Amino acid sequence: MPMAAVDGTGHTVRYVNRAFCLLLGKPEEELLGKAFSSVVPVGDEFLSLLGRVYRGEGPETHTGPEHMASDSFYWSCAMWPVVAADGRPVGIMIQVTETTPFHRQSTAMNQALMLGSVHQHELTELSEALNEQLQTEILERQHAEDELRQANDDLSQFSYAASHDLQEPLRMITNYSQLLIRGYRGRLDDDASLYVDFITKGTRQMRDLLTDLLAFAAAGARGLEPAERVDLNLIVQTALYRLTSAIEESGATVTTDVLPTVLGHDTVFVQLFQNLIGNAIKYRAECAPRIYISAQKMDTDWRFAVTDNGIGIAPEYHQKIFGVFKRLHGKSIPGTGIGLAICQRVVERYAGRIWVESEAGRGATFYFTLPAASEEKP
Amino acid sequence: MSSETVTQRFRILLVEDNPGDVYLFEQALKSAGLDFELTVIEDGAEALAFARRQGKYAEAAVPDLAVLDANLPKNEGVEVLQAIRQSEHLSSIPVAIMSSSVTPSDQEKANELRVERYIAKPLDLDQYLLIGETLKQVLRERAARQ
């Protein structure tokens, strides 16, 4: 531990130990008898401290990096007075303690701590940025959902209003065409009769379209009634009842698995099954229609299939047929082209899917999914 | 009041803004063989005045039957119905509502307001003409109660 002793007001170096010489890199001879400040680069602060100690104002310590060999050298300096027997200070003992290793360590610790906190800060910033991004995405998605819901409601309302308001002028056309025919029976030539005939057919077609458009509106409408448990066996029975004459005329046989209970609303489910079974009958081949309804549990959904042996649908039309007013056939097979659009709307109202597997001339299977009701019976 | 209703001349009020429907209505009453005197009010505000016996309707004769179009602009059909039910003179007359379409909620509302019949205006002419029979039935029921 480097030590030196100085005396007098000039703080003349009277004693240095070997460590002190090594510290300064100077031999003993160069140091002894010289003023402390001339051999050791110390600043005014240091000197004033020395002065204080010499005057008996107590021991002092001084720390600093700037006085010694290189700026990576840190030291702490303790000074205390050497006094004579009578208490008069005669000199000062100076002991230098190198604190570089401690300083290095503490610097290293400090740096490590700083780095740690920087990393911490970076991680926090990163997770905050991610959070913000997630929040934005959630908001955007909610916004999109709201917009979709609104668009759906708007479409339902529009469909309803359009078909409702169109009914009145349609009635006028229909009824007065009929009045015309009756009122002028026998007085109308063949041409006039033909014209009225076409008018009447047009009005019937229009009525069917409006009816289906209303059903389409109702299918997607988010009613205020909550979804309830619906026994699909009863639903199919109702649909079949409504198709009685079509079934009889075509000689169709409909077989069905035992169907589950699902969550939804009975009116739109009847529409769904009625349209699918009705289509299977309508688009039949030469032979009597054979239709099979099945159900399979998948996870939280049920997957239903309505299979027929009819004329089938070529793959390139599998998407198109679900469009509103989209038909693949002309007048030969009646229909408004809205039936499957209604089915899709019903199914999608319950977050299900509907699709078809079919080839031309090989029958068709329409699949759709609906959410299962929970297992506990009320 | 005699229970012989077939030859009785009925006073019927029709509130309807579509002339096409007015003519059809008359044809329906005729085809049912009813002897009737038809008062037509085409305007909802006028119909309210009639129900409240205001202005020129202060001394108007009380009809045997009121038939209201549900599809008047501004929902006036329901207003007129309420005015009739609240009126001293008219509250007991039978009221039938004619509408372009009938939904279950419409039916419920009509039941609450004591409507005799809630009739959907049909697309088919023959169906429309049958309304005459329906209204003849309503008038008979009322006459029988008196």
pLDDT tens per residue, range A144-169: 888 877 877 777 777 777 777 788 88
pLDDT band, very low/low/confident/very high, at A288 (cuts 50, 70, 90): very high
Is residue A246 pLDDT above 50, yes or no? yes
More confident residue, A243 or A217: A243
pLDDT band, very low/low/confident/very high, at A70 (cuts 50, 70, 90): low
- Strands across the sheet containing A12-16: A12-16, A3-7, A89-98, A75-83, A60-64
User: What's the pLDDT at B88?
Assistant: 87
Is residue A34 pLDDT above 70, yes or no? yes
Most B CBs within 10 A among A175, A201, A225, hence the mutation to make, goes to A175
Taking CA atoms, B120 is separated from A168, A298, B24, B117, in Å, by 11, 44, 14, 10
Is residue A135 pLDDT above 80, yes or no? yes
Most A CBs within 10 A among B69, B125, B126, B128, hence the mutation to make, goes to B125
Is residue B126 pLDDT above 60, yes or no? yes
Residues 6+ apart with CB under 8 A from A31: A4, A13, A16, A20, A21, A24, A39
Structure tokens at B16: 């309807």
User: What's the pLDDT at A106?
Assistant: 74
Is residue B7 pLDDT above 80, yes or no? no
Q: Which residues pair with A354 in a beta bridge?
A: A368
What is the rounded distance in angstroms from the CA atom of residue B52 to the CA atom of residue B125? 34
What is the rounded distance in angstroms from the CA atom of residue A88 to the CA atom of residue A82? 8
Q: Does A201 touch chain B (CB under 8 A)?
A: no
Q: Which residues pair with A230 in a beta bridge?
A: A262
What is the rounded average pLDDT of the residues A118-136?
Answer: 89
More confident residue, A260 or A162: A260
What is the rounded distance in angstroms from the CA atom of residue A297 to the CA atom of residue A291? 20
Query: Residue A92 in 3-state DSSP?
Result: strand
Nearest Cβ partner for A168 among B18, B126, B128: B18
What is the rounded average pLDDT of the residues A201-216?
Answer: 83
Is residue B36 pLDDT above 80, yes or no? yes
Of the candidates A308, A297, A227, A291, the one whose C-alpha atom is nearest the C-alpha of residue A260 is A297
Percent of chain A scored above 70 by pLDDT?
94
pLDDT band, very low/low/confident/very high, at B2 (cuts 50, 70, 90): very low
Most B CBs within 10 A among A159, A163, A171, A178, hence the mutation to make, goes to A171
What is the rounded distance in angstroms from the CA atom of residue A66 to the CA atom of residue A141? 62
A175 to chain B, closest Cα gap in Å:
5
Q: How many CB atoms lie within 10 A of CB B71?
A: 22
More confident residue, A40 or A375: A40
What is the rounded distance in angstroms from the CA atom of residue A256 to the CA atom of residue B45? 57
Is residue A258 pLDDT above 60, yes or no? yes
Do the chains contact at B20 and A182, CB–CB below 8 Å?
Answer: no
User: What's the pLDDT at A82?
Assistant: 83
Find, in chain A, the residue whose alpha carbon is nearest to that of B19: A172
Is residue A44 pLDDT above 90, yes or no? no
Q: Does A31 touch chain B (CB under 8 A)?
A: no
Do the chains contact at B121 and A171, CB–CB below 8 Å?
Answer: yes
Least confident interval from A295-299, B36-40, B107-111, B122-126: B107-111
B31 to chain A, closest Cα gap in Å:
13
Predicted TM-score of the model (pTM): 0.56
Query: Residue A60 in 3-state DSSP?
Result: strand
User: What's the pLDDT at A24?
Assistant: 84
User: What's the pLDDT at A270?
Assistant: 94
Do the chains contact at A174 and B24, CB–CB below 8 Å?
Answer: no
Find, in chain B, the residue whose alpha carbon is nearest to that of A171: B123
For residue B43, report the phi and psi dihedrals to the nearest 5 degrees.
Answer: -120, 135
Of the segments A71-75, A303-307, B101-105, which one has the largest average pLDDT value?
A: A303-307
Q: Which residues of B touch A176 (CB under 8 A)?
A: 20
Is residue A66 pLDDT above 50, yes or no? no
More confident residue, A249 or B104: A249
Q: Does A182 touch chain B (CB under 8 A)?
A: yes
Percent of chain A scored above 90 by pLDDT?
33
Q: Across all residues in chain A, what is the average pLDDT? A: 85
What is the rounded average pLDDT of the residues A266-271?
Answer: 91
> Does residue B94 contact residue B133 with C-beta atoms inside 8 Å?
no
Question: Exposure of A370 by Cβ count < 10 A (0-12 exposed, 13-18 middle, 19+ buried)?
Answer: buried
Q: How far is CA A256 from the centre of its chain?
A: 40
What is the rounded distance in angstroms from the CA atom of residue B12 to the CA atom of residue B46? 16
Q: Does A211 touch chain B (CB under 8 A)?
A: no
Of the segments A173-177, B2-6, B13-17, which one has the largest average pLDDT value?
A: B13-17
User: What's the pLDDT at A156?
Assistant: 76
Is residue A19 pLDDT above 90, yes or no? no
What is the rounded average pLDDT of the residues A127-156?
Answer: 85
Q: Does A174 touch chain B (CB under 8 A)?
A: yes
Nearest Cβ partner for A164 among B100, B122, B126: B100
Tracing tokens 């004329």 back to the chain, one arrives at A311
What is the rounded average pLDDT of the residues A40-65?
Answer: 78
For residue A270, report the phi and psi dihedrals to the nearest 5 degrees.
Answer: -60, -45
Percent of chain B scored above 90 by pLDDT?
43
Q: Across all residues in chain B, what is the average pLDDT? A: 86
User: What's the pLDDT at B5?
Assistant: 45
Is residue A8 pLDDT above 70, yes or no? yes
Most A CBs within 10 A among B98, B123, B127, hence the mutation to make, goes to B123
pLDDT band, very low/low/confident/very high, at A378 (cuts 50, 70, 90): very low
